[in-house]
Amino acid sequence: MLQLLPQSNTLIPNTANPHETVDFINSYIEKYHCEYMSVDLSYMNILDACFVSTMCSARHFIKYPEGKIDWIVSSELIRDFNKDLELGNAGYIV
């Protein structure tokens, strides 16, 4: 059976609530093989995007220590805020 690939490789959470977003992304990480992935958080405010990217990067690192997540964010302040907390698997695209 032929399976169509999604149009985009970027995961876009379907909620603006940061706790629901963390649950959505973490369940995606557990369910699918996603050693390299990108997630769009550009619609979130700075504090929520910092929280989500930190929590989900930690979960992703546990499953894929050599993996990488590219976070699409709205401000470079998010990268600056998280630089001391990073596990080395998070990249930020503004």
**Is 9 among the domain residues?**
no
- Range of the structural domain that residue 29 is part of: 15-93
Report the run of H or E that residue 24 belongs to, with start and end.
helix 18-31
| Contact indicator for 49, 70 with CB cutoff of 8 Å | no
DSSP strand pairing (90-93 vs 10-11) = unpaired
Phi, psi torsion values for 63, nearest 5 degrees: -80, -40
pLDDT of 22-64, one tens digit each?
999 999 999 999 999 999 999 999 999 999 999 999 999 999 9
**Is 66 among the domain residues?**
yes
pLDDT of 75 over the 90 cut: yes
Give strand pairing partners of 71: 39, 92
**Is 1 among the domain residues?**
no
Report the run of H or E that residue 54 belongs to, with start and end.
helix 46-63
**Is 27 among the domain residues?**
yes
What is this structure's pTM?
0.86
